[in-house]
Chain A
Amino acid sequence: AQKVTQAQTEISVVEKEDVTLDCVYETRDTTYYLFWYKQPPSGELVFLIRRNSFDEQNEISGRYSWNFQKSTSSFNFTITASQVVDSAVYFCALRGSNYKLTFGKGTLLTVNP
């Protein structure tokens, strides 16, 4: 069975602070894919990044960066110099051999001005 845990239910920061959202996963598959999605108040899930299990390179995209560590089964997401527009619910998800996307419970990030 697959499982994704986002231990942080809510995080509140002040604008320009850096913030890291944690994601820990469980799977027996050797090939799997990890995702991060952002859900603004409109409800639509917006794709941020995909990582496959064989690619442990960290990735940076503007203010966003991701740290994938298979040894600890973690795929953490960092926002540098947060902005009010970053306020949303962020979901980590795992897609394994059954092709189903398993989501974590999400982390509500509030960035205050």
Chain B
Amino acid sequence: KAGVTQTPRYLIKTRGQQVTLSCSPISGHRSVSWYQQTPGQGLQFLFEYFSETQRNKGNFPGRFSGRQFSNSRSEMNVSTLELGDSALYLCASSQGFGYTGELFFGEGSRLTVL
């Protein structure tokens, strides 16, 4: 079956702009979580969505937001981009919130902020 699909794979923005990233989970998976990966901070949890509701949130400013649609697809948005937002953004899907099994990750969206 198809894996987790993230779009776009690469994008370049300038400071102050906003960006929207998309994630389509594995068919049948209803939970989507987002992670930011940077060389300095490593992999950090952003938030998790299940049944169109944010269930969990990491320690990121309000400029980072997300949503989930009825088909479980998710988007995350970063407004007023800063240089420090340059990162690989990874999306992961799982069967449901609180599921203790493995998360399945996409290849990520690499954002560069100039």
Q: Which of A35, A37, A46, A101 has the most CB of B within 10 A?
A: A101
Which residues of B sit under 8 angstroms from A44, Cβ to Cβ?
3, 105-108
Point out the residues of chain B lying under 8 angstroms from A105, CB to CB.
Answer: 42
For B42, the closest partner residue in chain A by CB is: A105
A103-B42 in contact given A43-B110, A44-B108, A50-B102 (Cβ < 8 Å):
yes
Contacts of A35 in B (CB 8 A): 102
Instruction: Identify which of A14-22, A65-73, A76-84, A91-99 touches chain B.
Output: A91-99
Contact A43 B88 (CB under 8 A): yes
Asked whether A43 and B100 contact (CB < 8 A) given A91-B43, A99-B48, A99-B56, the answer is no
Q: Which residues in A have their C-beta under 8 angstroms from that of B108?
A: 43-44
B98 at the binding interface (Cβ < 8 Å): yes
Q: Is the interface of A mostly helix, strand, loop or mixed?
A: strand
The docked-state distance in angstroms from the alpha carbon of A102 to that of B59 is 12
Cβ of B62 within 8 Å of any chain A Cβ, yes or no, is no
B window 79-104: CB within 8 A of A: 88, 90, 92, 97-98, 100-104
Separation of A43 and B101 alpha carbons in the complex (Å)? 21
Q: How large is the interface on A (under 10, 10 to 19, 20 to 34, 35 or more residues)?
A: 20 to 34
Known: A33-B100, A43-B90. A102 touches B45 (CB 8 A): yes
Determine if A100 and B56 form an interchain contact, defined as CB atoms under 8 angstroms apart: yes
**Pair A101/B42 contact, Cβ less than 8 Å:** no
A99-B43 CB under 8 A given contacts A44-B108, A47-B103: no
A93: chain B residues within 8 A (beta carbon): 43
Q: Is A45 an interface residue (CB 8 A)?
A: yes
In whole angstroms, what is the CA distance A35 to B105 when docked? 13
Whole-angstrom distance between the alpha carbons of A35 and B3 in the complex?
19
Could you list 20 examples of A-B contacts with CB < 8 Å? A33-B100, A37-B105, A43-B90, A44-B105, A45-B105, A47-B102, A47-B103, A47-B104, A50-B100, A52-B100, A93-B43, A98-B56, A99-B55, A100-B48, A100-B56, A100-B58, A101-B33, A101-B35, A101-B92, A103-B43
